[in-house]
Structure formats: structure tokens, C-alpha cells
A and B are shown apart, each in its own frame.
Chain A
Amino acid sequence: MLGPHPETWLKVTPAGLWCEPANLYIDPLRAVPRAVITHGHADHARPGHDQVLATAETLAIMRQRLGAAAFGAQQALAPGKPLQLGDVMIRLVPAGHVLGSAQVVLEWRGARVVISGDYKRQPDPTCAGFEPVPCDVFVTEATFALPVFRHPPPEAEIAKLLKSLTLFPERTHVIGCYALGKTQRLLALLRAAGYEKPVHLHGALMPLTALYETLGVALGPVAPALVADRAALRGAIVLAPPSAIADRWARRLADPVVALASGWMGVRQRAKSRGVELPLVISDHADWEALNRTIDEVAAPEVWVTHGREDALVHALAQRGIRGRALYLVGRGEEEENETAADGVAGAASGGGEDPCP
């Protein structure tokens, strides 16, 4: 690495990760003069910044979730296009997490840092795939950083769901999934599996699904899930926020099969504690294998670990001679609560905040 070590110019502050020479915060936790936002999830995209830099899709998602008045100036940056901020060069590169999600690449005086944001390596038809960028320091998420997290191919999980529909044709299959990303990915996976019927959506999932369509992601026919009409939802697939599936809302459905699409569902106790009858291990985050493969691909001698359980990953990196450092950013791991609040869904208290990330 040439030039000063990134530790000297990329710092953890109470407002979040701060690039000093550009006076730029990455996914800041509180209102700042200038922010770059990796993606639209609530624990990354918060309101109140004077200037916001993000992909056009992320900006559109933020406008819809938080309102256009929640920010000052907005600047869209196309993936791959470099932008000079003082003598810092910044680039956004697809992260494969949700529509618009991007890694932030920062270069200053010969050193390059990549901040991954949230990412996954499984293909996702609703967003551009993750591109590894070689760097000196890789700042990675670690939501599923334990070797027991191994996300199966999502197609196999969708096959389980479709098989369940043939076994229980009278029961409504209600799937808990987050409003941004997971909902639309499930729709796309269902379409790819040949499911052509309308999929019913809880009201909280409608606006972002419509926005995806506007932004050019075709998801097939959807219809509102009106629980008052139990009969119409017999044998149907209903998507709803995770907080709603344990709530009275879901109990008004016809003898529902309660499913939840989440990386946490790979562990039985997690699924049991959520009262789930059909756990679907579908995640928008990298699993253990993908985290380690990605770190090897970007070939960074140093990795900063954030957003999850860092102990196992730092240990595994040390065994390969990579310097790992746990980065403590407050305010992460509240995605579920914030999402529900942002979407105005009642009953957010149920289920607790045990799932840090969608």
C-alpha cells in the first residue's frame, strides 16, 4: 500500500464512518453535511443530511420511504463512474443486496478502501450482482459470519413453498419478508419457478413493489391482500412484513401456513421462536462461505468487520494471515424495527428486535 494507512483518514465517529479528507460520512447514523448511502434499508439510509450521494435507484427508494423533503441536495452517481471530492476519488460498485445497493470505493493518496455495505453473492434478478474490487482495506458486513450459516440455493426454498401449496391447497401461505428487497426477490423467484398467479401483498409492501416496477424490474401480477376476504386468499400466496405474520392480521387468514423468508431460518430454534411453520432460508446477505470467498477475491491484507458477529470472522481471517479489525458502529442491527416504523405497520412490538437484518 502506498500513502497513509486508511486508519488515519477513515475514522469511526459517533455519527458513523467518516472519510476526513472528503468530509464525507458513509451511511451515517445521524444528520450530517455530506453523506454517501449504500442502500435504502432503514439502518443505512437515515433522513436529515444536507447533501446525499447514492445511486439513482437508492435515491428513488429514499424519497419514497422518507419523503423528498427529508434531505437537502441529492446527487445520483451511476455505478462505476468516478467522482472527485477534493483529492478523494469515489466510486459506487454494485453490491447485489437490493435494488440500487452499492459498495463505496474510496481512493486517497494511493490507498484504496472498499466499504461493502450489505451484500450477497447469490444471483438476484432484481438487482445488479456484486463486483469484487481489489483493495487495501475491505470494510465488510458480517451479519451471517458463523460457519453454521450456509444459505441454500433460493430455488430449492421456493420449491418447498410450491410443494407446500400442493400439499395444503386450502391454506393461505403467508410469508414474512421485508418491504425492500426481499419482497421483490421472492416475487421474481416465484415467477422464475413458473408461478404465474397474482401474489397478494400486505399494504406495507405495495409502494416499494410498485417503485421497483417503475424502475424497470418486472415482477408479475400482484394484488392487495384483503384479509376481510378470507375465501379469496385460500390457497394463495400472501407476502407481509415479518411483524404482521405473528400478529392478529395473519390470524384472520384461512388456516394460514406461516412462513418467513430470512437467513436466520437456517437455525431451527430461531424459526421455532418465531412460530414459523415453513422456514424459508432466503437471505440478501452473504453467508459464511460467501463472506470468506469475497474477502479472498478482493485480496485485501486488512479487513474491517462491521454489522454483525465479528469474532468468528476475525478469527478465520487471522488463520489466513489477514489482519481483521472489529469496527463498532452503533445503531446497526435495528433494521427490522426501523423498517416497520417507516412503513407504518401496526404491531411492530411483536417478535422483538432479535433479527438485526433482513
Chain B
Amino acid sequence: MSITAFAGLLERLVFTPARQSKLALLADWFASQADPDRGIGLAALTGTLDFLAAKPSLIRDLVAARTDPVLWALSYDYVGDLAETVALIWPERSGPHLPPPSLQEIVAQLEETPKAGLPELIGAWLDALDPSGRLALIKLITGGLRVGVSGRLARVALAAWSGQPVEAIEEVWHGVAPPYTALFDWLEGRTPRPDPALAPIFRPLMLAHPLEPVDFGNLDPAAWRAEWKWDGIRVQLTAGPGGRRIWSRSGEDISVTFPEIIEAMDFHGVLDGELLIIRDGAVAPFAELQQRLNRKRVSAAMLAGYPAGVRLYDLLFDGAEDCRPLTFDARRARLEGFLARAQPARMDLSAAVAFSGLDELARLREGARAAAIEGLMLKRADSPYVAGRVKGLWWKWKRAPQTIDVVLLYAQRGHGKRSSFYSDYTFGLWRPNGEGGEELVPVGKAYSGYTDAELAWLDRWIRGNTVARFGPVREVEKALVLEVAFDAAQRSNRHKSGVALRFPRIARLRPDKPAAEADRLETLLRWIT
């Protein structure tokens, strides 16, 4: 199979917003392609194909040697993307071309070819391909695929295609390597499941359900344990003779982003906890943690300014011993003992929250006002650690959202199914304009929370009350009040208003309320914790 098939897959993925459709496209790739190309393609999509063969400058030089500079400039200016412009404008040499290369050939030949030979090799491949194949090749070898396929999505697709549970695939995923022949052998029933052995692998997390009032009434306080629900990111720490890894909630390897944590993982075991920015024992708001996320390289200033720590709440493996079948109480005792022995830096225990009855629990939840606390976690004392979201074992009980009345300022069209509706809303609050009057200052954006009927109503209102257009954005009459719910308000110097809302969503439309009676910025600032 050649890169042409891979190019077809990429093209579909780039334009396909729906998750279900992406799964179908990936399943077709697994079913229709042969080894090792299908595994190389899988690795390229999920970012585990570990090679960066060419810099964009090499491609730029190649095309400059073959095109007129004026035509190139006009074309690049029109298309806007270097790889795509090259793919479209590339003038093939006349005469016979190589057959389009397979992914395997591309990977192998790039590894064998000395640097000086790369331009000729890549030029010959570009000659052999059509524009879509050229684009795939360039993106592949310069490392810029970006088609919205996460490792998690790929594993769900593998599960849907093969019929194996996704948890079973998660368990081996980080123990297998591109081109994943052992994985496909197992998924197609030719061999037993690969043994992850000592490799540091991700174990699927145990997840909580939101607690509904009806479930709350039925709780037996004696059978449940409570902890604070921290507003950080859930992580799994895996360390031992096979190596150290930090996994995100979905099983992405985020070790490089938090080197200070990796360094502190001087133990053998698998732990579950919340990654937070912690200064002198105090947890910083989520906005600060956000500064650290998604970075491949972390500067010394970042490490010093935003020190990461992990607040631990569960233990999956103690050494090589699988503790997941034990009860929560037993694991908690093991975790406390583990931490007392290992005393890892940058880690502490998420304290148990004592309570005597349901009333007290409810009061605790309502009293939770610290920005770093989202509410309470309730865990059944006898629950084993099981993968996924099993109902009735763990509950998350977020504190009630706060709401504020805002004025709609701008609206933008949504994506995919919602692309013909104005579904993204920028809203604002009143503040003094410095001249004795009042002005509206933008405080956030909401894209959710409304019903279909409310969306249709908003869309109509926006079209009928537009005062200006900027590309896809409409500015509207400052006349519509919306009730917006949010989980927390945090100080932010990236926003003009000085405040950032956590998870704002539309709670209600308030066409009945005059815009002048919407809330003021100072009201919101009082909620910053």
C-alpha cells in the first residue's frame, strides 16, 4: 500500500468533525491496510512515530529551485500554508517517476539516507505523488499532521473495529511500539495479547458519576468516605524498574511536561492523584496550571514560577503487587503507608474529609469556596479500583454553580452541525467608563448550556439585531441579557476585565430583563477566591 491511501485518510479526517465518523474512517484504515503500513499510519496519526526527517526550510528550498518566485509568492499568499502551497504548486519533472512509496519505504529510506541526500530523495517522491499525496508526505516528514486524532480516539477506534474492550487495549498500548504488528496480531486473533511486562503502562482510571439528589438521599454515611475534589488535572504516576511515566486521564504520556514530578517519582508503584500548582502548601487556581499544560519544553522560569505537585488519593500498585482488587479503605491504608516509607518530594496525601451525617456533608460542600476546590468526592469504603465509570462506587459532587446576568456582545457561528447557527457567544458586564458613565467589558465566552429551541431563538435574535460584522463574527445590539453559570471566577491578566470564568455556560435567556439591569464587573470580582 502506498502513501496515497494514507493521504486519502488524512484528507477525510481533516474535514470530518464528528467523532463517530472519525471512528469509522479509522476502522476502515485498520481493515483495509496491510502491516506494517497500517501501524505506521496509526503511529503517525497519534504522534508516536518518532522521527523528524526534514525541516520546513528543506521543503521551501526544494520548491524554490523549481518555481518562479513571483508565481510562488502569489500562490503562497493565496493558500496561506507552506506545505499545502508546495503540494499544490509542485511541478513534476517530466519523464518516468517512481511508483508512490509506501509508508514503510518512506520511514526506512529517510533513516538510511544521509542528510545531504534528503533533498533528492524527497524531490523524487514529490514527483511521484499527486497534490494530496504530496501534502501527506510533507506533513508526515515535517511532523505537522494535526488531524484531531488523539491516542485515546485511536484506541477507541481499535476497540470498535476489533471488538476487544478499550480497557484491554489501554493496558497494552504503552507496552507496544510502532508499527504495532504485535497489537494487530492480537486484535485479529492470531496471537494472545502482548504482555506489557515491566514496561511502564497506563492503567485505565476509575471514574466518578455526578451525584444526583435522588442518590444522595439514599447514601448510608457510614459506608462512604469523602475527599475534596481538587481543580487540577487527574494523573496516574507509574514508576519502577521499567521507567517512570505521568499519564493524563485519557492515557496520554505527559511526562515531558512535568520533569520535576518525574524526578520526584523515586518509588516503585502506580499512584492516582491530582496534579496541581502548589506553593508553600497552598493550591493555585487552575488558570495557573494551564500555563504549564501542553508544553514539550519547560523553561527554568516556568519550573520556578509554577511549581507542580501531586495530591494523591489512591494506590493501584504497591511495587509489583496489584492492589486494585482491594477495598478503598484497604488501598487508602496502603497508600498512607507507602507515602510514609517513600516520602516522595512534591507529593502529599489528599486529606480525608470527616463527616458524621448527610447534613454535615451538604454543609461542607456548600462551604467549599476555595478556588482550587470544585466540591466533594464520595467513595464507597468497600469499592475495588475498577476501570471506567461504574455507577454507585464513586460520586463527584460539585458545589452549586454560580450565576451572573450578562449582556450579549458578539456572536460567532459554530462548527460542524452548528455551523449555520450563531452558537458561540461573547458576553460582558458593566463597569464605570471613567467619564462618569457605564460601559460593557467582555468577561467570557459560552458555547453550551442552551437547548435547541434556545439556540434557534438566539440565532434569530442575533440575525435581527446585528450592528456590525467582522468576518464570521457579528456584533449585536447591547440589549439581550443572558444568565450564565460558571464553576469559579479567577483572576487573569490575559483578559481585559481582569477575570476569567471557569466553564461558563448559558443557564437561561433573560429577554425580559433590561440590559441596564445586568450585573456589574465588581460583583464578579467579589467572587474571586
Contacts and interface: CB of A to CB of B under 8 A. Distances in A.
Given A148-B75, A312-B74, A272 B15 contact: yes
A263 to B, nearest CB: 12
A251 B78 contact: no
B85 A148 contact: yes
Interface in A272-299: 272, 275-279
A150 B131 contact: yes
A268 B130 contact: no
Interface string B66-83: 011011001100111100
B419 A246 contact: yes
A315 interface: yes
Contact of A251 (B12, B68, B420): B420
A277 B24 CA distance: 14
B71 A277 contact: no
Nearest to A164: B12
B68 A319 contact: yes
Contacts of B252: none
Nearest to A311: B74
Most buried by B among A149, A248, A251, A275: A275
B353 interface: no
Contacts of B14: 268
Contacts of B415: 275
Given A148-B85, A268-B14, A275 B419 contact: yes
A147 B71 contact: yes
B215 to A, nearest CB: 34
A146 interface: yes
B25 interface: yes
A248 B420 contact: yes
A168 interface: yes
Contact of B25 (A167, A267, A272, A319): A167
Interface residues of A, number: 32
Given A147-B75, A150-B131, A266-B131, A251 B417 contact: yes
A267 to B, nearest CB: 6
A147 B28 contact: no
A251 B414 CA distance: 14
Interface in A338-358: 350
Contact of A315 (B16, B71, B79, B84): B71
B80 A279 contact: no
A107 interface: no
Interface residues of B, number: 32
A78 interface: no
A315 B80 CA distance: 21
Contacts of B8: 160
Interface in B5-47: 8, 12, 14-17, 21, 24-25, 28
Contacts of B354: none
B88 interface: yes
A344 B390 CA distance: 55
Interface in A139-190: 146-150, 152, 160, 164, 167-168
Given A147-B89, A148-B79, A279-B15, A246 B420 contact: yes
Contacts of B12: 164, 278
Contacts of A275: 415-416, 419-420
B80 A269 contact: yes
B75 A146 contact: yes
B15 A271 contact: yes
Contact of B81 (A160, A168, A269): A269
A126 to B, nearest CB: 25
Given A147-B71, A152-B130, A251-B417, A167 B89 contact: no
A247 interface: yes
Interface in A299-358: 309, 311-312, 315-316, 319, 350
B28 A167 contact: yes
Contacts of B131: 150, 152, 266
Interface of B: 8, 12, 14-17, 21, 24-25, 28, 67-68, 70-71, 74-75, 78-81, 84-85, 88-89, 91, 130-131, 415-417, 419-420
27 contacts: A146-B71, A147-B75, A147-B88, A147-B89, A148-B78, A148-B88, A148-B89, A152-B131, A167-B24, A246-B420, A247-B420, A266-B88, A266-B131, A267-B84, A268-B81, A269-B80, A272-B15, A275-B415, A275-B420, A277-B15, A277-B16, A277-B17, A309-B74, A312-B74, A315-B68, A315-B70, A350-B420
